Amino acid sequence: MEVPHQFRVPVGGERSADRLAAAYVPVQHSPELQGQSPSEGTNTIVYRHRFLTDIVRCIAAAGLAAGFIGAAADPAPAQSPAEFCLAANRALSLGAPLPRTAARLKAGALRIVAVGSSSTTGLWVLSADATYPEVMRRELAALRPAARIETINSGRIGDTVSGSMARFQNDVLAYAPDLIVWQLGTNDVAWGGRADGLKDQIVTGVRILRAGGADVILMDLQYAPMILVSSQHEVMQAAIAEVARQERVGLFSRFALMRRSVEAGLPTGALVSWDGLHNSAAGYDCLGRALARAIHAGGG
């Protein structure tokens, strides 16, 4: 079952953060989804967007990204940005096995919950089809045509590590997932916050997610101007990577994927949106497809 996605699109000259954020508030919801598990339809995706109209603070910082995004005018590679990104990241590995995922793929049905912040909801893309969880579902369904792939999007704009953890029971574990992708860390450091003490919280979060037997993949920060200017982004990156190693869960390094693409010759702004923080449509496309391929490889 899919939640209808009709969006209010701002018109006229109003440019406030509230007005722009309102463009991403669904006009229609599906009340029957509240508190219920998703349907059993083939290759379905359920969206639990709960957009916050007062959280899009990145707009005020858009000027910081002007040089980075402006570099997208560099000579473009012959391939599309997403295809170039995928070609530059052929050797991706999650660094840990996905035993339940492998078993469920062989059994013919896999349920994935994606939890995180605006990168998971797909901020700045107006189509649900362009969000990374839906791109991931389509790619994985193509790679595993015999399996029913079901993806539940439990992203929430503005979420932090503690914010996501507070929603785990209702927005993640209630769906009895086989695989959980936790995108984390960006909002904890992008706005001047500090990563101190967050490693222990992440360890606790991973253990909560694994308690029901699900496989877990951690997705780290994006390689983007608003992240690079944070004095804490390296601390956050290191904490996420260390927890993945310590707890033996998967690590999907979005930061490394994007940086590797730029180092291979992709224009620096091709994978980043106008705000200097979120992924562009091409960025979400590469992200979802690369993650699906890593899951396919890790699923045996």
Question: Which pLDDT belongs to residue 291?
Answer: 98
pLDDT above 70 for 53: no
pLDDT at 293 over 50: yes
**Domain 17-298 class in CATH:** alpha beta
Q: Tell which residue, 68, 108, 128, has the closest CA to residue 262.
A: 68
Evaluate the CA torsion angle 185, 256, 179, 97 in order and state its sign: negative
pLDDT of the residue at 191: 86
Long-range contacts of 158-163 (CB under 8 A, 24+ apart): 158/52, 158/55, 158/117, 158/118, 158/187, 159/116, 159/117, 159/118, 159/187, 160/117, 160/187, 160/188, 160/193, 161/185, 161/188, 161/198, 161/201, 161/202, 161/205, 162/201, 163/187
How many percent of the chain have pLDDT more than 90? Answer: 69
The pLDDT assigned to 192 comes to 84
Confidence band, pLDDT 50/70/90 cuts, at residue 74: low
Residue type, 143: L
Nearest to 207 by CA among 232, 182, 235, 175: 182
What local confidence, expressed as pLDDT, does residue 68 receive?
53
The conformation of residue 173, written as its DSSP 8-state character, comes to G
Which strands make up the sheet holding 250-252, listed edge to edge?
A: 45-47, 148-155, 109-116, 179-183, 215-219, 250-252
Rounded to an integer, the average pLDDT of 110-121 is: 98
Give the tens place of pLDDT for each residue, 231-268: 999 999 999 999 999 999 999 999 999 999 999 999 98
Instruction: Please say whether the beta carbons of 276 and 222 come within 8 A.
Output: no
Helical (H) or strand (E) element with 102: helix 99-107
Structure confidence at residue 77 (pLDDT): 55
* 121 Cβ contact partners less than 8 Å away, ≥ 6 residues apart: 24, 49, 51, 131, 153, 155, 156, 157
Is the confidence at residue 201, as pLDDT, over 70? yes
Least reliable range by pLDDT among 43-47, 204-208, 219-223, 258-262: 43-47
Q: What angle do CA 66, 221, 21 make, to 5 degrees?
A: 60
Q: What share of the chain is helix, strand, coil (3-state, %, to 5)?
A: 45, 10, 40
